[in-house]
Structure 1
């Protein structure tokens, strides 16, 4: 089901951005793309070639890190240009592997993009990254299970609409929401890493 969430994202983010392109910070998007896109391509190459056990361990570890930062209310912050570039490169690489590099890149964008343009600019960035990943998969003849993904679009549509309605409520309780999500991510990631460890021990 590699295509499902990415097809859904392309479809619904495209609808969201249809009338919002005028509110995108194109200048910073072009600047940051110099660091993000090459790193994302390297990440995609790793996704297609690295062992599954390594990839799963990496994804769970990154998610565990995010979970702890949210649970403990410790944000990812950038205060210097060199740190910005490092976070953009690392975020791009992680996004290429699993599309979980968002918090690293958002930390940089929040410092350099107006809050009124932030959401729309990030939507365009995600759209570009997902499009690059999907195009690469198609070029390399990766089985995308495309028809199955299309049949699940109505379910994604329900989630999309509920997410839009829940957005304002979440923003009013941002700290509490992040702590609950952080706790959930920590639990799931630790369980996932334990399963990988148990499988590795059994194989040996």
Structure 2
């Protein structure tokens, strides 16, 4: 990144603040909403993906630990209360059984990468889900096979690119209680990103640790702001909560269209 001007480095820092805010505020979308902007500064995904991946692993494990600590404190304060968790471990395990194999296939590149037409269909499908949340008519899958289909596609595309999260989130929103949604997604992202980071190390990809030193504080600032935003939307009713999720999904899809057909 030594060839970038000062103003470009400032914009990059602001993008990582934005990435941290979205990630902790909603639990998804931090990478998908940041990478297209970063590629406008330097069109090389392998420079930014390791940085984003390391940050996601750090912050996701931090939030999961904080949620576990809050749950233990609540149990100790209210001895009569039944044990609770901010993570839906049951659905996480069920979904991982479906996601893991296509995820590995995507990472290893054993299948043909999706064409622009397939990518367009996926973003169009998720946009429909997003609009349904915005107008308070949330998508509810009535078929286990539909969930399997979306989770399988989401797992594969998360291995090959950054467009898998909207598919997975669309299913999780229908099955995971809203107060557990963000932390459950963080645990899932940690697992999936760990697989991708392992592939980076095996392939000898530069992890950009020196650039992480100055970009991590930017992401941390965004992370702290995002925590406050998440607390705010949790106090709102279901309509507001799902509307925010829907808007975020729609922005992710529009950003994906932008990066696929304009940046490239």
TM-score by length of 1: 0.74
Q: 2:262 aligns with which of 195, 198, 203?
A: 195
Q: Distance in 2 between matches of 1:115 and 1:176?
A: 13
2:54 matches 1:11: no
1:130 offset after TM fit, Å?
A: 0.8
Contact 1:40–1:93 under 8 Å retained in 2? yes
Q: Distance in 2 between matches of 1:18 and 1:87?
A: 29
1:158 offset after TM fit, Å?
A: 0.5
1:26 offset after TM fit, Å?
A: 2.8
Match in the other structure for 1:32: 95
Contact 1:71–1:179 under 8 Å retained in 2? yes
Q: 1:163 to 1:69 in 2, by over 3 A?
A: same
Contact 1:64–1:189 under 8 Å retained in 2? no
| Other structure's SS at 1:3 match | helix
Contact 2:98–2:148 under 8 Å retained in 1? yes
* 1:18-167 mapped onto 2 (5 Å cutoff): 18-21=65-68, 23=85, 24-46=87-109, 62-63=122-123, 65-67=125-127, 69-71=129-131, 73=134, 75-167=138-230
Q: Distance in 2 between matches of 1:176 and 1:125?
A: 23
2:13 matches 1:2: no
CA deviations 1:2-56 (Å, max 9, x no partner) are 211111111111111114347233333222211111111112223x9977xx678
Q: Distance in 1 between matches of 2:120 and 2:106?
A: 16
In the alignment of these two chains, the number of paired residues is 194
Contact 1:25–1:121 under 8 Å retained in 2? yes
Q: Distance in 2 between matches of 1:179 and 1:112?
A: 16
Unmatched 5+ stretches in structure 2: 1-47, 72-84
1:70 offset after TM fit, Å?
A: 2.5
1:118 offset after TM fit, Å?
A: 3.3
1:129 offset after TM fit, Å?
A: 0.6
Unmatched 5+ stretches in structure 1: 200-204
Contact 1:43–1:94 under 8 Å retained in 2? yes
Alignment RMSD (CA, Å) = 3.3
Q: Distance in 2 between matches of 1:107 and 1:194?
A: 24
Q: Distance in 2 between matches of 1:182 and 1:114?
A: 18
